[in-house]
Amino acid sequence: MKQSKQIILLCLLFCTASSAFSQQVQQVEGFDTVAFHYNANRGVLVRDFRGQTKGYMTAGWWAKEQMKENVLSWKTAVVPEKMATVFSFIGSGAVLPADILIGPKVRLSVNGQYALTFNIGRTHDFTWKEGAFELKYISKRVEFPYTGEQRQFVLNGNSGIYRLTVPAAVLEKGKAATIQVELLPFEGWDHGWFMVKAYKDVLQAPTVQMLQKQIEGMQKDINLLMEHTNILAAKLYHKELGNDQFEHRVIYTNGYRHLHPADIIKLKNGDILLFTREATEHISNDGDIVMLRSKDNGKTWVDRKVVSAIKDLDEREGCGIQLKDGTIIVGIFYNDLYLPDGAYNWGKEQQQKPLNRARLGAHFITSKDNGQTWQQGNFIDMKNMPFTGVEGPTDAPIEMPDGSIVMGVIGYGIDGDPKNNGAVLLRSTDQAKTWKYVSTIAGDPGGKQKGFLEPGLVRTKTGRLITGLRNHADENAIYISYSDDDGKTWVPPFKTKMIGHPVDLIQLKDGRIMATYGIRVGLHAEPGGIRACFSNDNGATWDIKDEVVLRNDFINWDIGYPESLEIEDGRIMTVYYYNLFGKYFLGSTIWNLKDVDRKSAPHLATQP
């Protein structure tokens, strides 16, 4: 009886204390409208513990001018009374690399007055307190470096509820408060970010609709977990699945630098040159072309050097060829659609001053000494071309029997139609100094077929030019076209059963045409990977039933762009890019045609 009275007394004391506290502190929604943001994430819906919604973030680390004042501010709901207030809002922050325990610091102020400093990257509940200010983080959803979908465009991060206690002296009755956060520099890793989510109902009791969205988010996380389990199981049981004939290697990585894609040239002296773009991010204006060299058929790679680095110009890919006279020519696609602060001019929303060259185009570099030194060449002159911009080359140019060079590129605005984006063929008779339009490989008037892009080109032993094309229709199928008159005319592009992009084409020594292509999560299949397919009739049909799965373990979409080379009779080296744990890698798979040919035949186990 005495114990029961003590419990009742404690409950009364707790209720009294809670009531007194509630009278001293008012609860207010911590987000109402954004005051300042850089639109770094372009309003893309991102996932948190409540589902998907819009968020506003600090500066994009790929935009250098934004990073000089890395701030974000927003207004709360109106403060009813001038008294101590707890503002509740939902926020998310960057996932930390595995080797960083405590993330970048964030300075928080309220109505222009410094409040406290907190850290991003927390994966559990945490409280920061300075003077009368307190910030309590209630962790709700945690991501890890491995599970991130894409570090620049899909910024889910770690999310939870923030409860910010602010003293009465800082607030005004009947007015909203302004909260500002400033992300401070962090040595060794500048990919941090903080985002406030556009929820105005954090204090409300959960509704059925809110719970449904939370369940949908959990279902996506469970599906991702199942995908990861399948990847791990496939690696564990690779012999039973017949996947043990592939030798995967890491060619190159460089800290947190973004790398893509991987383009190769086999030289007459036996060396293999690999070219890639290295930059801060997938879309950033500091892309340079880097070269690596292998002297042992891709086993090891050395001699890293930057071969093209035009200041404030995003050089996105370098595709090349060694001509019969030994000259190496590399075509470099560049993108100059960036704003002064380093952000990309998405949709060309802001008018940019005209330049003496196209903002989407290509230039060339050459070497006469097997890639030891390089000379800057010319930019493609768009005058008298039936298109307004170029993207490419995205595959190696081809030297024709007469010594001229042809290459396929994307042509934007073909024949004056801004929606007509397709593949065009260009020709040079002076080793890439000047280029002329030859033909439209595959156009798309009005954009009705979702474009024919990133042409991969091969010239076969019969003289036929075959091109593989990326397409953005719902199927994301690969299209094929070919020409039997040196590219003057082309058969209408036809859809294949190959799904992926883009496609690289080579002719094998046995005469077959081989296509390799990337499989991207969200577009093609889960998980992503690299695949190969063959044609036995000079590109007219493709044997999809014997498609080869080279890799099937990529969990986000920023991967692929394979290129292949027959390094010895029957042995293939396929190179590509991928990312794991927030880092980017160039990789290769060494495989044997005989192994995959045997795989398609019935297999009987033998007793020891």
pLDDT at 602 over 90: no
**Residue pLDDT, tens place only, 225-269:** 999 999 999 989 988 888 888 999 999 999 999 999 999 999 999
Average pLDDT over residues 261-280: 97
Q: How is the beta sheet containing 33-36 ordered, strand by strand? A: 33-36, 71-78, 176-183, 105-110, 113-119
Residue 277 sits at the vertex; the CA angle it makes with 275 and 281, to the nearest 5 degrees, is 160
Reported in sequence order, the residue ranges of 311-395 that DSSP labels E, i.e. its strands, are: 314-322, 328-335, 360-367, 375-379, 389-391
- Write down the pLDDT at residue 242: 80
Distance between CA atoms of residues 357 and 376, nearest Å: 16
Delimit the domains of the chain by residue range. 25-204, 221-252+502-601
Confidence grade of residue 598 (pLDDT, cut at 50, 70, 90): low
Q: What is the mean pLDDT of residues 75-81?
A: 98
Q: 573: closest CA among 323, 329, 266, 269?
A: 266
pLDDT reading at 605 higher than 60: no
The per-residue pLDDT for range 146-204, each reduced to its tens digit, is 888 899 999 999 999 999 999 999 999 999 999 999 999 999 999 999 999 999 999 99
Q: Indicate the pLDDT class of residue 449, thresholds 50, 70 and 90.
A: very high
Q: What are phi and psi of 391, to 5 degrees?
A: -125, 115
- For residue 424, name the pLDDT band (cuts at 50, 70, 90): very high
Reported residue count of the chain is 608
Q: How far apart are CA 105 and CA 316, in angstroms?
A: 33
> How much is the mean pLDDT over the chain?
93
277-298: average pLDDT: 97
Query: Tokens for 231?
Result: 């990847």
SS3 string of 454-478?
EEEEEECCCCCEEEEEECCCCCCEE
Q: Residue 519: its pLDDT value, please?
A: 97
Q: What is the pLDDT of residues 83-125, one digit of tens each?
A: 999 999 999 999 999 999 999 999 999 999 999 999 999 999 9
What is the CATH T-level fold of the domain 25-204, as seen in this structure? Jelly Rolls (2.60.120)
Q: Across residues 550-565, what is the average pLDDT?
A: 95
Beta strand 26-29 with 85-93 is parallel
Question: By C-alpha distance, which of 195, 183, 188 is closest to 68?
Answer: 183
Per-residue pLDDT reduced to its tens digit, 47-59: 999 999 999 999 9
User: 571-589: per-residue pLDDT in tens?
Assistant: 999 999 999 999 999 999 9
Kind and range of the H or E run holding 234: helix 208-236
493-513 per-position pLDDT tens digit: 999 999 999 999 999 999 999
- pLDDT score of 17 more than 80: no
| Predicted pLDDT at 599 | 57
Per-residue pLDDT at 606 exceeds 70: no
Q: Is the pLDDT of residue 2 over 80?
A: no
Q: Is the peptide bond before 608 cis (omega within 30 degrees of 0)?
A: no
Q: What are the two backbone dihedrals, phi and then psi, of residue 4, each rounded to the nearest 5 degrees?
A: -65, -40
Distance in Å from the first CA to the final CA of the chain: 78
pLDDT digits (tens, 9 = 90+) for 136-152: 999 999 999 988 889 99
The residues, ordered by sequence, that sit 6+ positions from 604 with a Cβ below 8 Å of its Cβ are none
pLDDT digits (tens, 9 = 90+) for 398-416: 999 999 999 999 999 999 9
Contact 316, 335 (CB under 8 A): yes
Mean local confidence (pLDDT), 306-322: 96
